[in-house]
Structures are given as C-alpha cells and as structure tokens.
Amino acid sequence: MAPPTARLLLRTPRLSLSTAAASLFSPPSKAVLYDQHGPPDQVLRVADVPPVELGERDVCVKMLAAPINPSDINRVQGVYPVRPPVPPAAVAGYEGVAQVHALGPAVTRPLSPGDWVIPSPPSFGTWQTYIVKPEHVWHKVRDDVPVEYAATVTVNPLTALRMLQDFVKLSPGDAVVQNGATSIVGQCVIQLAKVQGIRTINIIRDRPGSEEAKEKLKQLGADEVFTEGQLDVKNVKSLLGALPEPALGFNCVGGNAAALILKLLRQGGTMVTYGGMSKRPVTVSTSSFIFKDLSLRGFWLQKWMSSDKADDCRRLIDYLLGLVQEGKLKYEMELSPFDDFGLALDKALGKHGSQPKQVLRF
C-alpha cells in the first residue's frame, strides 16, 4: 500500500509542488485578521499566515474572490449575533468562491484540483489566500459564470429566493412590495419574482439620481418603482394602477420605509423584515392589526441554513448560478484586488460615497 504522501500526489496530478512533503501543507497565506472587535478600519490588518497541515479528509483551496458584506462589517464590529471568537486573532469574511488546490489522502467527495467550490453553508475566514477545511464544508459549483457571482451567490440571492418562497404562497400575477430595492437582495427579488411571473412594487430613497435608479430597476424587470416621497399620499393604493395589492412585503430599512410597505399590503398581507438599515424601529398602527389583519415576520438566512438545510441550500445555489449563466440574474459589483484591501474596505464603509458591492479578487 502506498504511503499517504504518495496517495496524495496520485490524487492531485495537476499540482505544482516542489516536494512530496510540501503537498501535506497549504502554501503560506495572507489573511485579513482582527484581534478585537471594533471599527473595521481600525482593527483589521493584513498579515502573513503560516502553512496549515492537511488532515486525512481535509481540502486545501485557493480563494478566488470574496465579498465585503454588511454582515462581515457587523461581525468585526462585534454587533452581529454570530461571530468568530477573538482573541486569538480571527480571519474575517464569511462568503466566497475558491479553487481546489490539494486533497487529503482520505477525501471521498468527487473533487479535483482546479474545481470551483464554495463553503456551504458559508464559513468564517474567507478573506485569506489559502484555506484548509474538512471536505464536507465545500460544495462544488459551476465555473462558467463570472467569479464575482460564484463568490456572492449564497448570502444575498439566496435570501431573496427564500423570502419569496417561505412566507406566502404566491401565484403568477400576484405582487410583492419591497423597500431597499436598489440593494442586491432587492435587485434579486425583482429578477427572481419575474422568473416566477410575480409583479414587484419597489420603494427607494429620495435622493439625487433617483430617476436613474428607477430606470435601472425597471431594466431588471421591476413593474413599479416609487420614491418614499411619492408614496406620502393619503390614497397610496391609487398609485398601483392595474397592479394587484401585494400579499407580501420585504423590509430591510425600518422606520417610515417599513410603514409604507404596511400601507400598500392587502388585507391579511405579510411583511417580512430581514434588515434595518435606517436603525429605526418598525412601528405598526393598531388599525393595521385590527382592520387589515397584517402579519409581521422576520427572516435570518443564517438561522435557516443552520437548521438541517444543507442539501436544500446547495440545490438552490446551483439553481441561482444557473440563472446567472442564463443571463436572468445580475447585480452590480466591483472587483478589487486583494492587495488593495484597504481601499475596498473604505468603499464598503461608504467613505467614497455610494459604491457597488466590493468583491475582493485574490
């Protein structure tokens, strides 16, 4: 029987490794680390990380791309409900796509060097150049889509898809309403609803460039787009024209933007809250409960993924990447070299005004 190192080399014929022994370790890596919670631009640092030994059933991957999500920022700040422990130093990042670099000798999953994989469910520590984790963490995905879509498919598109499916049984011709429509989740809601024949009513902020934002959303398939100011009228439903009153609403803003959704919902409608960008509470009038019988629900993707949903999660990710490949799902992002992490972080923090989602390219 061949020794472990020989078996590893037989399974990884395309690797360029200088010695057999080196194949049992990841290459040296660079990672974004933090030793304590706090403002990301103060506590995050890029540092060298030594090689990591591969266990029998471990897979070493080379990261290709990883986004900077708002939830990543919240984890570093220490305000997100789930976060990696610090100290010791934690590696930031939660989502991304990688390429298989090397396999432990007892790996049984059908993976080969060069395959694209994502951590599914997502896993802490994606902002580094090489990662070693057990084989069950990795889900092989198609490699015929832009790398930034494979890197971002889990958190935002999957949130949009689950919310459309989990709360109200919708049929073609029904309508949904959402605020935060220019967000990536909002853009995904528009396009995924269109695939299902569902109409969308979209609310955006009053700000310079709102007309341009409306046009972009309509090009994605939005049926109606209103600014918050346009909906500040007594008979708000008269603005819907021939559109049906929505049965389902999505709130990621809170405050007045949430109240506008409640005004538009039909009798017995449901509003799902999945974010609170305004940091203002959701306030509901007594009449909304008594006379409209509205329901208020919440959605947190991480809880859904941690409730024995791994197979469903991976199946839906494959479906979403299929829509990307078909040109039916797209959203605006900016690839930034990992070497320019500081600039990408500043853009993600809003220091350069409104910017597309930042995706680190390794």
Question: Looking at the annotation, which residues are catalytic?
Answer: 80
Say which residues have a Cβ less than 8 Å from residue 271's Cβ, sequence separation at least 6: 248, 249, 250, 251, 258, 261, 262, 265, 294, 295, 296, 297
Distance CA 58, CA 117 (A): 14
Rounded (10°) angle between helices 156-166 and 184-195: 50
Task: Give the whole-angstrom CA distance, residue 175 versus residue 224.
Answer: 11
Q: Which residues contact 48 (CB under 8 A, 6 or more apart)?
A: 28, 29, 30
Alpha carbons within 13 A on the beta-carbon side of 69: 26
Could you identify the residue written with the tokens 């569902």? 198
* Terminal CA-CA length for the chain: 38
Query: Cα–Cα distance between 344 and 357 in angstroms, integer?
Result: 9
Question: What Cα–Cα distance (Å) separates residue 345 from each residue in 34, 81, 106, 183, 217?
Answer: 14, 22, 39, 18, 26
* CA–CA distance, 307 with 303 (Å, rounded to integer): 6
